[in-house]
Structure 1
Amino acid sequence: MRVGASIFFTADSIQPAELGVELEAHGFESLWLPEHSHMPLAQQQELGDRRLPEKYEIVYDAFTSLAAVASTTSRILLGTGITLLGIRDPIWTAKATATLDRLSAGRLLFGIGYGWLRREYESHGIPFDRRRAITREKLRVVRALWTSETTAFAGDHIQLSPSRQGPKPVREPHPPVHIGAALGPGTMADLASLADGWIPLGMYRVTAAEIAEVQAAAAANGRGPLEISVYLDYTQAHRIDEMAEAGCDRVVVCLPSAPRTEVLHHVEQIAESWIGP
């Protein structure tokens, strides 16, 4: 079982470069960073009792943070968990991800998701109800720019005239794409056709049957096994063995967005219990 970590970096938390060093020293395999561009106040009001913590409003940019981690580490993999590709420009995203992969010597894991905050989408002028179709097209554009010398794309939502873009990623044929979403017919189809891995967000008690269903769909589409990466809150780290038995390949432990001393206390505990010397 590979053990990774995730955290909301903020101005008040431990900083990216210093956490990266500590995670690598303690044997963590990867670091995955979430993203939100901003938080419309109307969204928080609509959520009511489910109002999101302040860290969602002030979280650092994921790509910039991962670049900082890359500068102080040499082994740990660098994941986006998850990039809201539907509200991003795919051409800029292809360049940013390829640059990060090249600067880190091929360590990028590209986790994407569809998003669930309607007003965040609306602020970017993207129709929330068409986010899945838009995300699919943008992912195809990103992958084409990663892998083709000349790229053209004509979709229902995205148009790109013949273009060239560099740099190209180090990883061949491209950095792995992990789709983070709860399982449903649409997600299943996307996993089988577009993904190298599944992050079952919102499904922390993912079962062996669900994993088997995903793998069967990928196999039926002529693709190899997908990598399964499940997220657990740091207070649920004791369930790492359970997730391994269910068939997960990686557990990503969500650390508190807190100062250095508190975060490293949990890093050391997790490493001692589940990673070892």
Structure 2
Amino acid sequence: MPDRAQMSSKLLRIGFIGGGKMAQALAKGFIAAGLTKGEAIVSSCHPSDLASAKAMRELGAEAVFENVPVVSKSDVVIVAVKPQVVPVALGEVGTHAADKLFLSIAMGVTIKQLEQILPRSARVIRAMPNTPALVRSGASVFVSGAAATDRDLAVAGKLLRSVGTCEQVPESALDAVTALSGSGPAYVYVMIESLADGGVKMGLPRDLAYRLAAQTVVGAGQMVRDTRTHPGVLKDDVTSPAGSTAAALHFLERNGFRAAVIGAVEAAAARCREVSGSSS
């Protein structure tokens, strides 16, 4: 049985099965938030993934090439491997997983599937963070497994809130969440790049165009989040009669901007469902 007092203390022993970009983003965020230290983190990486092992060691964490030490040394085990790897990775840990808290961020792998792989006494929470967790501006949600306790949910919430916002949702929402906020940063990066390209086309230096585009997106997002005003109202506030914004919005509508973004989320959610079905 893990030491519950340790789990509720400031310093958490955190393990990552998988040491890729998302694991690195979370580890950096947890350290920056003061929830743990590098020396209290252990991560397993594929033997061929020396770059991830190096990145974890640069954080002060231990990087290994097998999964059992990650589980045996940790209070919370974060499953951060590709969905097709989950059955093998968790199957390797066997009895070491008993009475442990597992927080899975593997796309499309359901609570039921995780609970079937792990020992019955393991507690499972499924989460979907996104990469802005690296700068503690992530958007995360989580789903409780059958055996997860209120204390487990509090620990998961504390970890995820330390790197941004966090909400508990039903598992049926996970595919849509993954498509919107999990994949969403990629859509926004394309938007930033496109805004900057437009600025460059109209004569701005590229470095200035990127700074202005990035800050514009940050500011607009904060306006929606902090004022709780409908984005359509905020859009109308910027749009003067016969002005430049009205002309720009007409161009976006004529070229299917809204439909393209909605379609991107729909396509990503469909892919999540395919992965979940193939993982069954």
* Higher RCO (Cα < 8 Å, 6 or more apart): 1
Choose between structure 1 and 2: higher strand proportion.
1
TM-score normalised by structure 1 residue count? 0.32
Taking structure 2 as the reference length, the TM-score comes to 0.32
Rg (Cα) greater in structure: 2
